[in-house]
Amino acid sequence: AEKLVSSNSELKEAIKMAKPGDIIIMANGVWKNTEILFSAKGTKSQPITLKAQEKGKVTLEESSNLRISGEYLIVKGLVFKNGFSPTSEVISFRKDSKTLANNSRLTEVVIDNFNGPERYDVQAWTILYGKNNRVDHCSFINKRTQGVTLIVRLNTAESVENNHQIDHNYFGPRQNLGSNGGETLRIGTSHFSMMNSKSIVEYNYFDRCDGEHEIISNKSGQNTYRFNTFFECKGTLTMRHGNETHVEGNVFFGNGVSNTGGIRVINEKQTVINNYCEGLTGNRFRGALTVMNGVPNSPLNRYVSVKESKIEGNSLINCDHIELCAGSDSERSAIPQTTSLSRNLFVSNSPKMFGIFDDISGLSFDKNIISGAIESPSKKGFTSKDIKLIRNEKGLLIPQGKELGAGAQIANFANRENTGVTWYTSLTVDTPFDSGNKIEVNSGLNTLYEAINNSKPGDILILTDGTYSTSKSIEIPHTLSIISNNKAKLLFETKALFTIVNGGSLKIKGLHIDGEEAPDGPLNSVITTSKYSMNKNYKLFIEDCDFINLDVNNYFNVLRVAPSTFADTVSIKNSTFENISGAVLALNRESDDIGIYNAETVLIENCSFKNIEGAALDLYRGGTDESTTAGFLNVAHCYFENVGLSKKNKKGTSVSLLGVQNANIENSIFKATAPLDFILTVGEPINIIHHCQIEDSQILNIEGEGFENHNNSSEIKIGDDNKPVGLLK
Amino acid sequence: AEKLVSSNSELKEAIKMAKPGDIIIMANGVWKNTEILFSAKGTKSQPITLKAQEKGKVTLEESSNLRISGEYLIVKGLVFKNGFSPTSEVISFRKDSKTLANNSRLTEVVIDNFNGPERYDVQAWTILYGKNNRVDHCSFINKRTQGVTLIVRLNTAESVENNHQIDHNYFGPRQNLGSNGGETLRIGTSHFSMMNSKSIVEYNYFDRCDGEHEIISNKSGQNTYRFNTFFECKGTLTMRHGNETHVEGNVFFGNGVSNTGGIRVINEKQTVINNYCEGLTGNRFRGALTVMNGVPNSPLNRYVSVKESKIEGNSLINCDHIELCAGSDSERSAIPQTTSLSRNLFVSNSPKMFGIFDDISGLSFDKNIISGAIESPSKKGFTSKDIKLIRNEKGLLIPQGKELGAGAQIANFANRENTGVTWYTSLTVDTPFDSGNKIEVNSGLNTLYEAINNSKPGDILILTDGTYSTSKSIEIPHTLSIISNNKAKLLFETKALFTIVNGGSLKIKGLHIDGEEAPDGPLNSVITTSKYSMNKNYKLFIEDCDFINLDVNNYFNVLRVAPSTFADTVSIKNSTFENISGAVLALNRESDDIGIYNAETVLIENCSFKNIEGAALDLYRGGTDESTTAGFLNVAHCYFENVGLSKKNKKGTSVSLLGVQNANIENSIFKATAPLDFILTVGEPINIIHHCQIEDSQILNIEGEGFENHNNSSEIKIGDDNKPVGLLK
Ligand SMILES: [Ca+2]
Ligand SMILES: [Ca+2]
């Protein structure tokens, strides 16, 4: 029978009374603080259904979640938004550890931006337990906090060999988490990775799932991933643990976006056939195709070496990096064995498509085709051809002309239209800088404060001439630009001038910021991030600005971030920093050493740092976790003088980099400054300093491997771009 | 004329139009988000008044403040509560740095618990600028965040020699801030300390002003402090900078409360006469009477040595410590000179009343009287007498019988009744533990969560037998006890079981807490404090509890505090800790080294620590600021085995103390554990370890001075209390 319910108590009662074949219909409307326990027993022919009166018109909001427990249950058409679950998952296929769901289905359900405030509190959105369950045509959009979006668990006998099916779902954008725990899909855990899961993951669409290196983390045996589409995802389908994985007919579009990856092979008896990768730029653990080295007799939580695996008939078109024996080091010394790469098609304009990090003699190559420019990784098994590509009606590039006998041919795969729900549009959009109105702001006391409070996302505040004094703490709640064409002067009496709060991003340009009226206490800053949680990434751009007299008391920083805040980008150009008692950029607040860090990309160009008591830059990424690799840094044409020499500067450095993956410091001058520290730890870091005028090379402190130091000396006058080192005129 | 206004715009208009003699009357009611700029010009005979329609019935709430600017202005009868100022002060005697108030008066105004959320954002409650202003009969109650309650500033010529009068105010309770910036009254700054202020501070009542060591921080010349009463204040009237201070007729009642202090003398030409101190227990910088050593040729912000000063006719009754040449060290080597102590009366049952830290030859003593037991600090100038005291009608103890010719005689001084306003009662009270109802809680899923959400301040939740599982994060919002008589078992699936939030305090007793169901991620804890700001101090008591299996992932702590949270007391008794991947007590989150710390008093008695990967205790107080002296630690009859030896334990210690003032570790056993670190830094620390069974004394790492190490060895079996070392049976 059908039963329409319109309150939590009616819903509970209806569930309690439900018989096979019943349909419980939740009335249209907003259901706040609703924790549903859908515990019932249907039959194969007569399942019990819980569904929305109209799809998309039943929303579960605030503190809500769903547990499904029993047999032959169907949940359909619900939307979770505007809130978060009070427990560690939003939807769980169990009541408790002993009472699971089997033969049940979650279909056409939406979870959108349903995130708790704490960025690093772990919460999954959907966890599958039991057997023979299906999740299909669901939309999972804007997961922002730590925890996997969709998990299949195998933690008890009742959940192994589960034959779950995960199909036609839309996995929407997931921002860079800046930590492990940003996977979009995980099946199993290392502890149970020798168990078979037998899950099928097919026809799903992964849209910009950038949470971490593993879009998918396979951690159990005999799973199938096929006909899924990965659109501009900054990670890979990773066979992290478990054997006999079948990866077939998947499509990866990188579109040249940085760090986009493909398929990473680890473990034994893996099958990777007929997949299509195009425009992927990632390297190392995020290569288009990565075959890892393993650890000899690996413990369950490390890396089992690749054996008896087959990589066949895949297309790797215009991808930057194919990595063989990746991760080779003193621990990961077990090379791939008895593994074949055959009939794959590699197309690239760059000769250096293949990276080879160890002995590839355990790999056999046969009938692979490479385009003309590519340097062959092996004497046999590769044929170089001049290849012309055309895009077929499915949107894939295929070789023109006669049959090559190599590369992928995929008839059907997921697209945006046949995945997820069709009746829901996510309201969460990121506002670009400068997309709003231009608003003139006059000088005076708290005029800027008022203007910002009245601003809308994307607005540009234009400061006319004069002095802008601020006595109230300014919060930046959305994307905002503050610019001056005449170096308007900003004074402030608050501990921080600008606090970027959750959802905010800031661009400042042409400002003259003077700290002389700041309070006479330690730890002032010009810009800070919210001490309260920020589960949204932010951006900070500083251009043509001067910062002076930040010295009324100790440890006055330009930027002081709070823990659990994450910048996609911090960029500083054409700016000067002078007389500062603290640090300029302190991105060093994740000191727990668990792989969390404060900023992904840091760019500093044509800036001058003079008389800075603390560091010009402190960029810290502790821990050894490899699910993320923190940070890209570029410093070019900068000038450093008397930086970091204060006794109060604990680390005693002018630039301090710990765990930064890619650092490039070039064409700059370091004069009478404290040492630069490069501590290279996790991953395969590359830290380079070159063409810098350094008075004393003793000021370079290096720990770890991956450091390159060349063309630096007190005599260097011209950079590698043929311009004078130091500031550009 | 009188003008009744009932809106912000009417108020603005009335102020704008105000003429000498006018009275602007704010209508009764709650004025929310009201920032008043009272800028006007009255005359001596015709001042302009801004007042409440009825005293106490006009409240300024939420985001409100007051600036007074002009001449001959009076503000009367307002109340600030339920909010906080959007700027760095609540009431300011200026419009901006150029426009000050003179000849104006703030009277019968209340500021109660008007604190921003950020504990360490600096905010003053009232700042006096200009000249000839008066603050009288005001009540300042429950300041909780950083920043001085009442400040007199001398930062421009228009504010020196100001002749302000501060009288008959009630300075109500101010909790321990755990940082510099907890002063109740400050006059001047070090920078302007050679200027004269000529302020008069008289007949004020200071009630439990415990913010930091300086109740009053005098930092300018020619100020007078007289006839004030200090009731159980854990600090001193400190002549921090500036000369020619006159301190007369003040009364200090310590009532035996710990760390209560009196008068601290620094600088030149100071007069301390006819003051009365009783029952003060503090030592060193918080002695009943402290005469400091100075720094030779001291910079403005250090210590000028005492010269040409007079300490005469004061009574020091049943006080524990008179400190002469206090603070003597390699920097503070300039002893007091040409300073007399005469006709003072010292009464104590303890012979060790005087602490002498350097050469007292620059002090002259004359006609002082000491009671029989006291050891005289000097051969001349002290006469020992058998003194009987009686309490006079004013409440002061005076010698019985014939005139002694020494000690204080004070006819009038402040009391609770003649200070502050009479018509206001503060609603803010601290609820004691166990003052509420007893409530039985049955076992089951989230029954404890529900019970806590329904609890009231002071309640006692009694857990009956069984297992209590928790899948939602539990917040402790008020004082709460959770007890079990049968070791109820607690399991939890959340990152923390209990989060103490602002206003909360927790006592747990008789619980068996097992971490086996905690999430598989790093940084779990059993108890944590709010990541959001806590401007109220909290207490944590743990008794008869067992903690096991806190090891599902790395860095699982028993207690993990957040920065900007402060515990008055953390006490753990008769409890066991076993198989823990993190630390037991991690009170180490204030790593900025600016004198802030996480807990004042830590007591650990009769506890067992086994197989702990991190430290059993990490107590950190960085920086060299002397406005606070962090921490008292007592560890007695504990047992430590295999503690702190994990590679992941960065510091590599089992017990780590940095900057702890008073630490006592006794009668305990340390077996196969990582080293104990004692880093003694600021102040005059005393860290003692004695009567401990330690296998290898090499495990004691000591830095700094003040460490005592005795009766420790692998052979020690019996403690100094004649009981076996280690756990008491
Ligand atoms: Ca991962
Ligand atoms: Ca102080």
Is there a single domain that holds both residue A1 and residue A115? yes
Residue A506 falls within a domain, yes or no?
A: yes
CATH of the domain at B675: 2.160.20
Grouping H, G, I as helix, E, B as strand and the rest as coil, residue B448 is helix
Strand partners, A55: none
Residue A427 falls within a domain, yes or no?
A: no
Residue B518 falls within a domain, yes or no?
A: yes
Residue B275's H or E segment, with its range, is: none
Q: What is the ipTM of this complex?
A: 0.91
Is there a single domain that holds both residue A407 and residue A440? no
Q: pLDDT at position B404, please?
A: 85
Is there a single domain that holds both residue A203 and residue A247? no
CB atoms within 10 A of CB B299: 9
B222 contacts chain A (CB < 8 A): no
Q: Cα(B183) to centroid of ligand 2, in Å?
A: 6
Q: Closest residue of B to A444, CA-based?
A: B96
B390 contacts chain A (CB < 8 A): no
Is there a single domain that holds both residue A406 and residue A497? no
* Tens digits of residue pLDDT in A484-507: 999 999 999 999 999 999 999 999
A39 contacts chain B (CB < 8 A): no
Question: Looking at residues A434-463, what average pLDDT do you find?
Answer: 97
Q: What are phi and psi of B331, to 5 degrees?
A: -80, -50
Is there a single domain that holds both residue A465 and residue A546? yes
Q: pLDDT at position B489, please?
A: 98
Domain membership of residue A321 as a residue range: 237-413
pLDDT band at A426 (very low <50, low <70, confident <90, very high): confident
pLDDT band at A27 (very low <50, low <70, confident <90, very high): very high
Strand partners, B509: B483, B543
Is there a single domain that holds both residue A111 and residue A224? yes
Identify whether the C-beta of residue B93 lies closer than 8 Å to the C-beta of residue B150.
no
Q: Cα A305 to chain center, whole Å?
A: 26
For residues B250 and B278, give the distance between their C-alpha atoms in angstroms, rounded to a whole number. Answer: 11
Q: What are phi and psi of B698, to 5 degrees?
A: -65, -15
For residues B368 and B361, give the distance between their C-alpha atoms in angstroms, rounded to a whole number. Answer: 16
Grouping H, G, I as helix, E, B as strand and the rest as coil, residue A186 is strand
Is there a single domain that holds both residue A312 and residue A336? yes
**Looking at beta carbons, which residues of chain B come within 8 Å of A592?**
522-523, 555
pLDDT band at A191 (very low <50, low <70, confident <90, very high): confident
Residue A301 falls within a domain, yes or no?
A: yes
Q: How far is A472 from chain B (nearest CA, A)?
A: 5
Residue A710's H or E segment, with its range, is: strand A707-710
For residues B187 and B138, give the distance between their C-alpha atoms in angstroms, rounded to a whole number. Answer: 18
Q: Closest residue of B to A190, CA-based?
A: B520
Residue B728 falls within a domain, yes or no?
A: no
Residue A608 falls within a domain, yes or no?
A: no
For residues B390 and B307, give the distance between their C-alpha atoms in angstroms, rounded to a whole number. Answer: 35
A594·B181 Cβ contact <8 A: no
Residue B647 falls within a domain, yes or no?
A: yes
Q: Which residue has the tokens 């996790």?
A: A682
pLDDT band at A628 (very low <50, low <70, confident <90, very high): confident
Q: In the A/B pair of chains, how many CB contacts fall below 8 A?
A: 74
Grouping H, G, I as helix, E, B as strand and the rest as coil, residue A300 is coil
Measured CA distances, A556 to A476, A504, A603, B87 (Å): 20, 22, 21, 19
Identify whether the C-beta of residue B277 lies closer than 8 Å to the C-beta of residue B315.
yes
B493·A88 Cβ contact <8 A: yes
For residues A575 and A608, give the distance between their C-alpha atoms in angstroms, rounded to a whole number. Answer: 7
Identify whether the C-beta of residue A169 lies closer than 8 Å to the C-beta of residue A204.
yes
Amino acid symbol at A671: K
- Which candidate from A471, A533, A594 shows the least CB-CB separation from B522? A594
Residue B49 falls within a domain, yes or no?
A: no
- Which candidate from B87, B118, B521 shows the least CB-CB separation from A472? B87
Is there a single domain that holds both residue A95 and residue A222? yes
For residues A88 and A122, give the distance between their C-alpha atoms in angstroms, rounded to a whole number. Answer: 7
Is residue A15 predicted with pLDDT exceeding 80?
yes
Q: pLDDT at position A696, please?
A: 76
- Pair type for strands A389-391 and A397-399: antiparallel
Identify whether the C-beta of residue A642 lies closer than 8 Å to the C-beta of residue A670.
no
Q: Cα(A625) to centroid of ligand 1, in Å?
A: 8
- Which candidate from B445, B592, B594 shows the least CB-CB separation from A96? B445
Is there a single domain that holds both residue A399 and residue A450? no
Q: pLDDT at position B192, please?
A: 87
The bound ligand whose nearest atom lies closest to the alpha carbon of B190 is 2
Domains identified in chain B, total number: 1
Write out residues 582-611 of B within 8 Å (CB-CB) of A. 591-594
Strand partners, B217: B186, B238
A494 contacts chain B (CB < 8 A): yes
Q: Cα A178 to chain center, whole Å?
A: 6
Residue of A695, A687, A696, A692 whose CA lies nearest to A712: A692
Grouping H, G, I as helix, E, B as strand and the rest as coil, residue A286 is helix
- Pair type for strands A150-152 and B707-710: unpaired
CATH of the domain at A265: 2.160.20.10
B122 contacts chain A (CB < 8 A): yes
pLDDT band at A698 (very low <50, low <70, confident <90, very high): confident
Identify whether the C-beta of residue A81 lies closer than 8 Å to the C-beta of residue A56.
no
B88·A493 Cβ contact <8 A: yes
Is there a single domain that holds both residue A329 and residue A464? no
Q: pLDDT at position B631, please?
A: 82
Identify whether the C-beta of residue A34 lies closer than 8 Å to the C-beta of residue A10.
no
Is there a single domain that holds both residue A624 and residue A681? yes
* Tens digits of residue pLDDT in A112-147: 999 999 999 999 999 999 999 999 999 999 999 999
Q: How far is B425 from chain A (nearest CA, A)?
A: 30
Write the DSSP assignment of A302-348 as a string of letters.
Answer: S-PPPBS-EEES-EEES-S-EEEEET-SSS--B--BSEEEES-EEE-
B444 contacts chain A (CB < 8 A): no
Where would I find the beta strands (DSSP E) of A194-321? 200-202, 205-207, 214-219, 224-226, 229-231, 236-241, 246-248, 251-253, 263-265, 271-273, 276-278, 289-292, 310-312, 315-317
B87·A520 Cβ contact <8 A: no
Average pLDDT of each block of 10 consecutive residues along chain B (729 residues)? 97 98 98 98 98 97 98 98 97 95 98 95 96 98 97 94 98 95 95 94 98 97 98 98 98 97 98 98 95 95 96 98 95 96 95 96 97 92 94 94 88 96 86 97 97 98 96 97 96 97 97 95 96 93 98 96 96 98 97 93 98 97 84 96 95 96 96 95 90 87 93 94 95
A493·B87 Cβ contact <8 A: yes
Q: Which residue has the tokens 């204040």?
A: B233
| Domain final residue pick, A379, A413, A447 | A413
Is there a single domain that holds both residue A567 and residue A627? no
- Which candidate from A97, A495, A594 shows the least CB-CB separation from B121? A495
* Tens digits of residue pLDDT in A469-481: 999 999 999 999 9
For residues B343 and B321, give the distance between their C-alpha atoms in angstroms, rounded to a whole number. Answer: 18
Identify whether the C-beta of residue A262 lies closer than 8 Å to the C-beta of residue A268.
no
Write out residues 454-473 of A within 8 Å (CB-CB) of B. 469, 471-473
The bound ligand whose nearest atom lies closest to the alpha carbon of B627 is 2
Strand partners, A483: A462, A509
CB-based contacts of A359, cutoff 8 Å, min separation 6: A325, A335
Taking every pair of Cα atoms in chain A, the longest distance, rounded to a whole number of angstroms, is 87
A96 contacts chain B (CB < 8 A): yes
Q: Cα(B303) to centroid of ligand 1, in Å?
A: 56
- Pair type for strands B94-96 and B99-102: antiparallel
Identify whether the C-beta of residue B388 lies closer than 8 Å to the C-beta of residue B400.
yes
